[in-house]
Amino acid sequence: MKKAVIALLIVTISMLSGCSKRAEVKEIDDKYKNYYEIFVGSFYDSDENGIGDINGIIEKLDYLNDGDRKSDNDLGINGIWLMPIMPSPTYHKYDVTDYLGIDPQYGTMEDFEKLVKECDKRDVDLIIDLVLNHTSAQNPWFISAKKSLTVEPCGKEICAYSEPCRDHNKYVKYYNFSQEKFSGYHSVGMPTGWYYEGVFWDQMPDLNLDNEEVWKEIENISRFWLDKGVSGFRLDAVTSYYTGNVSKNVEALKKINSITKNYKEDAYVVGEAWADAGTITNYYESGIDSFFNFPCSDSNGLLVNTIRNKNGVDFAKRVEEWQKTIKGIKENAVDAPFLSNHDMGRSAGFLMRDLTKEKMGASLYLMMPGNSFIYYGEEIGMIGSGKDENKRLPMVWSIEDKKGITNAPSGATSDNGSIEAGVMEQEKDKESLLNFYKEAIKLKNMNPEIARGTVSAIDIGNDSIAMYSCEYAESKVYVVHNLSDDEIKIDFEKEDFNYSGISGYLTAAGGKAVLKNNVLNLPPTSTVIIR
């Protein structure tokens, strides 16, 4: 990840959606990005074997970011998170057999190095999934450990057996073995009477994070990928490092953070702590940059409930309170809001495939402070729920042209057959969800205060209005969401708000935002940025 850069961009005020006047910004923290989550196997197939691959991502980089800051053709993404890319026997690859390799289904290390270079050309940060809670049962470490469990201790300083006994094989201590079967333990499967911890699945043996040799491996893995040019890591399942023990999980995260930042000071690390707000708050004590904002996401999270209940005042207050909470623990904490991810039903489904609601949902989370995370295909309204495979269906590049579209993961029981328009079709439709996402991301990129600013909720006396200011580097913008189906007018006296005009706006159902004679006219289901 590159150091913070000096940015000085001034764009004239425009009434067009997404255009904005950008004040002089003295310093941009390069950890603030719009991230795009990619399941590689379902993104783009470059070699026509039915499986997405790294070269496919390279081919489609211009869709995410074409490297031209003046371009309106790309999505405006400046951060990419790749779901697991390391060798694994499963389609999802959350069970690693080699932490220092690329799964052959996805390509080669040379392909990955090329991807890093292409991302660098576009100033796009690339982070990868790091799965440290468990390995694959087919990992050579685990295979070696199982063999040694059958060999009785030799009692000698140097093992006398051709196959090292269990006291002399370091890999035995990489895992949690026991001769008693505890909850979450599985039989080793040999006539030894041994069991191993594998909380998620019997093919995912848990690593023993009390073992210093394991931490040496973690340090080696982290340094290897940072040397390859990644900007940081997404940490999988951090609440399960020590199941049910928050304090030990936090201590483990402190170690990971130290290992990463001591080697690459500006690396970005985001953790998956799928838990309630209070628990996530505790995890920020680890020093990790970000944790995903799970209370905001999914079918019953803050974002969707705000759309359903049209309670903008509550939304603004909770955004302010959450920022104060996490920054009260870690001053430079970066929130990571998202609408849905690879473990959840897709947002288009729980928003009832209502285009206005999908647009409003996008506007709400993309205009929150922090690093927004967009799940691939969310920007075109892809669907999928139930089995995990259904949530990771092929990216729909076109309804007509099937080039590059992958096969569905084995075991999927649904498809995207009911989606009416893919990327190619939506690019041609000015009112499409895809073009709305483009405008929203552009608006956020051109107003850096939104991601980085200190939030202050503003209650104007109308529950349907979510309004807050974002102040950063002696500059301030106002984010105003109209969640109602009605046009609303707001008194916007200059002495109260000290503004120069509309920086840009988004309308989920059409209409035009106007600020005239200190009165702001908000179309139904719209978002306006005032500078």
- Among 59, 38, 42, smallest CA distance to 111 is for 59
- Among 241, 247, 243, smallest CA distance to 208 is for 241
Beta strand residue intervals within 243-378, DSSP E: 268-271, 290-291, 372-375
Q: Are 295 and 304 in contact (CB under 8 A)?
A: no
CA distance 307 to 464: 10
Long-range CB pairs of 113-117 (<8 Å, 24+ gap) are: 113/228, 113/229, 114/54, 114/55, 114/58, 115/54, 115/57, 115/58, 116/228, 116/229, 116/230, 117/229
CA distance 374 to 233: 16
Instruction: Name the catalytic one among 236, 314, 459, 463.
Output: 236
Instruction: Name the catalytic one among 272, 298, 425, 449.
Output: 272
DSSP per-residue codes, 98-138: -TTS--TTT--HHHHHHHHHHHHHTT-EEEEEE--SB--TT
DSSP annotation of 152 reads P
236: annotated active-site residue: yes
180: annotated active-site residue: no
Give the full edge-to-edge strand order of the sheet including 177-178.
177-178, 195-197, 185-187
Q: Which residues are within 8 A (CB) of 510 and not within 5 positions of it... i.e. 6 or more apart?
A: 431, 523
| 21 token code pair | 């006047």
Q: Which residue has 């764009």 as its token pair?
A: 11
| Beta bridge pairs of residue 479 | 468, 529
Q: Tell me how far apart the terminal alpha carbons of the chain are, to the nearest angstrom.
A: 30
Q: Which residues form the catalytic set?
A: 236, 272
